[in-house]
Amino acid sequence: MKKTVLLPLLFNINANATPLEVLHWWTAPGEAESQRILEKTLLEKDIEWQNFAIVGEGGDSALRVLQMRALSGNPPDTAQIKGPDIGEWAKVGMLAEVDKIFDTQSWGYILPKVVRDTVTFNDHYMAVPINVHRVNWLWLNKKIFKELKLPVPTTWDSFFVIADKIKAAGYLPLAHGGTAWQDALLFESMALSLLGAEKYRKAFVEHDIAVLNSAEMVTVFKKYKRLHAYVDKSMVGQDWFNASQLIATDKAAMQFMGDWAKGMWNVSGKVAMLDYICVDVPESKGIFSYNIDSFVIFEKYNFQARKNVQTIFVETLLSKQFQSEFNISKGSIPVRNDINMDAFDACAQKSYADFNSAQLVPSFTQNMASTSHLQNIITQIISNYFNAPNVDAEKTVKRLSLAIRALK
């Protein structure tokens, strides 16, 4: 797979800066630029970002490397960990309680409840939230839709009709990278809309076996398989930003992807609502599937001596200026509820409004609903079904429910 190589920005060298090793997976175009905003902001406060970036697999590779480092007794200073994985790391006693490093009293006012709950374990803040991504977006190439005089798809029936017209016109209907987590994201988009927020939550958050084994779930899988006819089979193994580039170059008409795709399009000079359009996944209006990025801080041998660095790090992540600059670049929305959104694009403003009014559900493909271990098993079963021509939907549903039951 072709990887994009990004050269580091040259910041003013500060001989007095204290190093801070940070593990993350922000390596795609747009993500790397956002990371550099954080790097630059920290350097201005005499903290030198030591980059420990791991490429690939939506963060799975990074977590495997982190586990090896932690088991050897040498974890980084801080790492990008999110969702239920925060609690798993907290249980083994390796994480610092953020509320013992930083005065978090204001967090009860400036952070929405869903954000606070995501980074809390045993009544302590165990991670620092940095942004909120919406996952259930459908992105449309405006040029292609205008040329073919196509309406915005609001139902799955209209989506398939429109996809057929796009295909007949010689364009790729659906930009899709073809890795397992991207396959699962396609499924999640459809499952959320067809099952509704309550049954989606029962299936993929609470792991209710009755819903997982239901006839409705079989229907979701069968309809999901139809999407395979609209993707480019030669893209198998390509990362999400390679697929998003097909939207930017007017080769593909649609993409299901979280709004981190906007960060990549920003780098390409594309403008929201001018070059691409953001719409709800068909039949998912009023539902917001969220992904919350966050960082944990590891207790290390020199932990007490570095408390000032950790305090500055936490303070920086939640400062108003950084929350605005970083999230505008990243494509996400701030975790703080007191940020002026006027400088954000129309898609971010819609996301912010929906986050504050829609039914919120955690994205299982983004490690918000279960531990990464369980999520990986679910993802692989879904991906295998999507790519194997003769796999039965009923058998796949049974396999999925059995796998979840065995791992719970």
How does pLDDT run across 199-235, given as a tens digit for each residue? 999 999 999 999 999 999 999 999 999 999 999 999 9
pLDDT at residue 3 greater than cutoff 50: no
d(CA 264, CA 87): 31
* Rg (alpha carbons) of the chain, rounded to whole number: 21
**Residue 117 has what pLDDT?**
98
Residue 162 near residue 219 (C-beta atoms within 8 A): no
**Residue 307 has what pLDDT?**
75
**Residue 306 has what pLDDT?**
74
> What is the homologous superfamily of the domain 18-134+291-355 according to CATH?
Periplasmic binding protein-like II (3.40.190.10)
> What is the homologous superfamily of the domain 137-289+364-407 according to CATH?
Periplasmic binding protein-like II (3.40.190.10)
3-state secondary structure of 102: coil
Which of 28, 72, 396 minimizes the C-alpha distance to 220?
396
φ/ψ of residue 324, rounded to 5 = -70, -55
Q: Which residue has the tokens 């229907």?
A: 219
Q: How confident is the model at residue 56 (pLDDT cuts 50, 70, 90)?
A: low
**Residue 59 has what pLDDT?**
66
Which of 340, 362, 297 minimizes the C-alpha distance to 79?
297
pLDDT digits (tens, 9 = 90+) for 226-247: 999 999 999 999 999 999 999 9
Q: Where in the chain is the domain with CATH 3.40.190.10?
A: 18-134+291-355, 137-289+364-407
Residue 210, Cβ neighbours under 10 Å: how many?
A: 11
Residue 103, Cβ neighbours under 10 Å: how many?
A: 10
d(CA 377, CA 400): 9
d(CA 179, CA 242): 11
pLDDT digits (tens, 9 = 90+) for 244-295: 999 999 999 999 999 999 999 999 999 999 999 999 999 999 999 999 999 9
d(CA 282, CA 365): 18
Of the CA atoms within 13 Å of residue 16, those in its CB half-sphere come to: 3
Which of 78, 77, 80, 85 minimizes the C-alpha distance to 26?
80
Q: Which residue has the tokens 């016109």?
A: 169
Cβ-proximal residues to 256 (8 Å cutoff; 6+ apart), any chain: 137, 138, 139, 174, 176, 185, 186, 189, 281
Tokens of 225: 């398989």
Residue 219 near residue 211 (C-beta atoms within 8 A): no
